[in-house]
A and B are shown apart, each in its own frame.
Chain A
Amino acid sequence: MNVIDTSRPPERAAAKVADFKPSLLLSENHHLCPGCGEPVAIRLILEVIQELNLTQNNVCILGHGCYGSFIMQMDVDSTLCLHGRGPAVATGMKRMRPDVAIWTLQGDGDMASEGLAEIMHTAARGENITCFMLNNGVFGDTGGQMTAASVVGQRTKNTIEGRDAAYHGNPIKVAEILANMDGTAYVARGSVHNAASINATRKLIRKAFLRPMHGHGLALMEILTMCPTGWFVPPGQGAEYMMESLGKVYGLGELKDVASETETVNP
Chain B
Amino acid sequence: MSEVNTHTSNPAARRKVTRGTVVIAADRCKGCELCIPACPPQVLSMSAGVNAHGYPYPELAPGCTGCTACLLVCPDFVFQIYRYDEPIVDELSAGEAQQ
Contacts and interface: CB of A to CB of B under 8 A. Distances in A.
Contacts of A29: 28
A36 B21 contact: no
25 contacts: A1-B61, A4-B60, A4-B61, A6-B22, A6-B23, A6-B26, A9-B80, A9-B82, A10-B21, A10-B84, A13-B84, A13-B85, A17-B20, A17-B81, A20-B80, A34-B32, A35-B33, A35-B75, A36-B75, A39-B75, A40-B74, A195-B68, A198-B72, A235-B30, A238-B34
A28 B28 contact: yes
A195 B38 contact: yes
A-B pairs, top 5 by smallest CB distance, nearest first, are A236-B33, A35-B32, A235-B32, A34-B30, A28-B77
B85 A15 contact: yes
A21 interface: yes
Contact of A38 (B26, B64, B75): B75
Contact of A195 (B21, B33, B72, B84): B72
Contact of A20 (B25, B30, B66): B25
Interface of B: 20-26, 28, 30-34, 36-38, 45, 55, 59-62, 64, 66, 68-69, 71-86, 88
Contact of A10 (B69, B71, B72, B82): B82
A199 interface: yes
A100 to B, nearest CB: 27
Given A7-B23, A9-B80, A235-B31, 14 more contacts: A2-B62, A4-B59, A10-B84, A12-B88, A19-B80, A28-B76, A28-B77, A29-B28, A39-B76, A195-B72, A228-B32, A235-B34, A238-B32, A239-B73
SS class, residues of chain A in contact with chain B: loop
A215 B83 CA distance: 40
A16 B60 contact: no
Contacts of A178: none
B68 A236 contact: no
A14 interface: yes
Interface residues of A, number: 43
A29 B76 CA distance: 7
B62 to A, nearest CB: 6
A14 B22 contact: no
A33 interface: yes
A248 interface: no
B84 A236 contact: no
Contacts of A1: 45, 59, 61
B73 A192 contact: yes
Contacts of A60: none
A15 B20 CA distance: 9
A266 B74 CA distance: 28
Contacts of A40: 72-75
Nearest to B55: A34
B26 to A, nearest CB: 7
Given A6-B60, A25-B77, A40-B73, A17 B36 contact: no
A9 B45 CA distance: 19
A109 to B, nearest CB: 19
Interface-central residue, A20, A33, A36, by most chain B CB under 10 Å: A20
Nearest to B44: A6
